[in-house]
Structure formats: structure tokens, C-alpha cells
Amino acid sequence: MIFERLLFRIFESQLSWTALAWQEYFSYAAIPYDPLLIRPKNLFVKIRFYLAALAVLICLGSGTRALADDGNVFESDKATFQVITVASGLGHPWSMAFLPSGDILVTERSGTLRLIRNGVLQDDPVAGLPEISAQQDQGGLLDIALDPDFENNRRLCISYVAKGEGGRGTEIGCGTFRNSRIQDLQVIFRAAPKSKSGRHFGCRLLFADGYLYATLGDRGKRPQAQDRGTHPGSVIRLFPDGAIPPDNPFAGRSGYQPEIYTYGNRNPQGLAQDPMTGVIWMHEHGPRGGDELNRVIAGANYGWPVISYGKEYFLPKAVGEGTYKVGMEQPIHYWTPSIAPSGMTFYSGSRFPGWQNSLFLGSLKFQELVRLEFDRGQVVAEERLLSGEYGRIRDVRQGPEGALYLLTDAEDGRLLKIAPAD
């Protein structure tokens, strides 16, 4: 035990993405761990784990790669662009939202909501948030989404982790934003059941076609993803006030959670609507390999953990029964090895004509921006950008002026702007 703790303290001190990021990278698998250390309990797995850890430590012993300078120019297949730092000093930022005033709201996983005004991170966090459970794991304050009529009603919603009976779980709260404060916040959804696990909370939010969609991870308890009597491992659909649409696929069925719109999901953390077709897309983390990109289809079962293109952690063993089973959806696109996908958005702006209709998503694992091209609903090209230049990319959004914005997941996280090169 002393050796384990000493090794991890040394190991953590050498990693540029901190102990929390290391935990997030490995905890995509259902490996038991405590909140301080990722420590496999099976002896054989433990030996393999520490051998791998030592190998990585040796590789990193000469130091970590410096981040790229501000204003660097990069070449894409379809565009030449520069990356500019808008703001820094963000603590593991998770999501952002652009206000009509030009201000930007940014969530920090630690449980604070920050305001960036005229390119300056304001000292005082936004007030009026609910009690948020943020520990040294994947939980905390997660996504933020503006009501489509925000300019008139000032309403927004946040997803976050909260304590309750049985442990912790994902919740959604909505309120009005005025004078740097969220007022009259009401909880419109609580995922059930809560658990003591510190991983796989989801939770991306999307307003689309008069509904609010939210992604929920399986909380590291695989069978829940196939159990429609529980929320974890699903995408839910609500009315914006939290009411349940009567045409949800499992509404009115005994023993089913009526909010569930899809199930069989592991840990979906990307959600975006194609502005050209109206189709909603999501991605989710696989285990060791098998990250997936899927269309969101009412009532669909995406297979986890029965089928997967990934393997078990530290063992040369496939997950579940294989990669195909009747009645379960096949991914439109998948990544092996895993890229650990994060936030994503379709590009529809005018500043990068060559990127029109491309889907952009972040990669936490490879610290890069991924661009996908589609033809008739199928991925026909993939491009990797900014590999290792700026660290782990947690969120990707299109700004109101047509630039792309990125959030980097770090203790000193940054909001970056991608603009055409001069």
C-alpha cells in the first residue's frame, strides 16, 4: 500500500494533466477505485497497471511538451487559421454559452460559473447556483445551455452533480440570469438512482425542436444502461420546464423511466444538432477503444454493455458478446484506439467556408480537435488538428460571429478562439 501511494504521488507530479485528468482517462472502464487513487483490486490487473504506469513515467521523465504560443498559425485541409487566447485562469472548465450581450459564461467543474466580459475573466463567480457536489472525480458543474428564447426570458439550464439518498447523481436546474446571478433556480430533473460512484455522469444539454435533451452516463455500473427502470446510461428528453413529452418512447409504460429517449449508452458527453438536416447526433466514450458517434433515434438501444468495439482495461478481452446484435444500433463512426471525445458542434459560420457542415469535437486523450465531413449521413473524412498543442480539449462551440471556441481542461484552463489567419 505504501509503495502504491508513493508511486502514484511521483507519477501524478510528472503528468501535465494532473491526477484528476489521469483518473478521468482510466475511469472510462468499470475499474474499482477510491476517490484519491485509481487502484485496481485484482492482483493480476494491479501488476499490469503499475507496470504500465512505470512505463509512462519513464517516457515522461524528460519533461512535458510546452503549450503552443498564442497567435500561432495552423494549416487545415480546408482552412488556414490562428489560435488566440481569450481568457485563462479557468479551473477545469467544462462548457460555455454565448450571451446576446457578447459576454461568455463558462462552467468550472469545481462548482463555479464564471463570466467573461470583454475578454476579461471577472473575479466574482456567478451567484445563485444550487449546492453542487464536486470531488476529485468526474462530478461537479458540467454543462450550460441557453433557452432558445433567452434574449426575452433570460432563462438558462445547467447540469451538475448533487448529493442525495444513495450517494450522488446528475441533476438539471433552470433559472433566469440577471445581474450576474441565477435567480429562481428550479431543479427540473434528478437522475435515479444516485450512487457512490464518481464517474460517468454525462451530461450534455441540448435545446432542439421544442425539447431539452440530456445525456446520462452509466455511472460505471454497466447493467444500468440496459435497465429502462433507471436513468443512467441513457439520453433523456424533456419539455423545457421539465415536463415529460407524452410521445417519449417509454412514457406510460410500467416499470420504465418516462424521460428515457435512448438507452444502452456508456458515457455520452457530446450532443449537437445538424443545422442542415435537423438530425441530432451524440458521441460517447467507449472503454479501451470503441468511442462512438451515433444519431439520436427515439427508443433506440445502442448496445452497451452487450456490444462494443472496445476491450476491457488491462486485459486482452472484448467487452460483452461482440460488436453486433440484432435490435441494437451500430455506430455511424467509431474510434479505436479511443480518442476520449468531448464537446462537439456543427460548423455553420461564414468565416471558414471550407469547414461548412463539418462536425468538430474535442479529444481529451490525444489533446486535439477532430473535424469530420459527412456525405448522406456517413462520415467520409476525418482530420486531426492541434494535436498536443494546447492540452486536453473539453468543449467546442461556434461563436455568434462564426469563429470556433475551445475550452482546455486544466487547472489553469483557457478559452481559445480559432479565427482565420490574417
Could you tell me which residues come within 8 angstroms of residue 44 by beta carbon, excluding any fewer than 6 positions away?
none
Q: Where in the chain is the domain with CATH 2.120.10.30?
A: 73-420
Write down the pLDDT at residue 68.
74
Question: Residue 345: which of 46, 101, 143, 170 has the closest Cα?
Answer: 143
In tens digits, what is the pLDDT along the chain, a chain of 422 residues? 444 444 444 444 334 333 433 443 443 432 323 333 344 445 554 555 555 555 444 444 434 456 676 779 999 999 999 999 999 999 999 999 999 999 999 999 999 999 999 999 999 999 999 999 999 999 999 999 999 999 999 999 999 999 999 999 999 999 999 999 999 999 999 999 999 999 999 999 999 999 999 999 999 999 999 999 999 999 999 999 999 999 999 999 999 999 999 999 999 999 999 999 999 999 999 999 999 999 999 999 999 999 999 999 888 899 999 999 999 999 999 999 999 999 999 999 999 999 999 999 999 999 999 999 999 999 999 999 999 999 999 999 999 999 999 999 999 999 999 999 97
Could you tell me which residues come within 8 angstroms of residue 291 by beta carbon, excluding any fewer than 6 positions away?
283, 284, 285, 310, 334, 335, 336, 338, 339, 340, 341
Write down the pLDDT at residue 16.
35
Question: Residue 319: which of 311, 331, 327 has the closest Cα?
Answer: 311
Instruction: Identify the helix (H) or strand (E) that includes residue 397.
Output: strand 393-398
C-alpha cell of residue 67: 503549450
Q: Are 92 and 45 in contact (CB under 8 A)?
A: no
Phi, psi of 163 (to 5 degrees): -85, 155
Residue 283 annotated among the catalytic residues of the structure: no
Strand 341-346 to strand 333-335: parallel, antiparallel, or no bridges (unpaired)? unpaired
Q: 200, 231, 283, 285: which one is catalytic?
A: 200
For residue 125, whether the previous peptide bond is cis, meaning omega lies within 30 degrees of 0, is no
Write down the pLDDT at residue 314.
82
Name the one residue in this structure whose C-alpha cell is 488556414.
80
Instruction: Identify the helix (H) or strand (E) that includes residue 5.
Output: helix 2-14
Q: Are 320 and 309 in contact (CB under 8 A)?
A: no
* pTM of the complete model: 0.87
Rounded Cα distance, 160 and 132, in Å:
7
Q: Are 291 and 284 in contact (CB under 8 A)?
A: yes
Rounded Cα distance, 400 and 88, in Å:
21
User: Which CATH architecture describes the domain 73-420?
Assistant: 6 Propeller (2.120)
Phi, psi of 222 (to 5 degrees): -55, -45
Instruction: Give DSSP secondary structure letters for 157-221.
Output: EEEEEEEETTEEEEEEEEEEEETTEEEEEEEEEE-SS-BS--S-----EEEETTEEEEEE--TT-
Write down the pLDDT at residue 65.
53
Write down the pLDDT at residue 71.
78
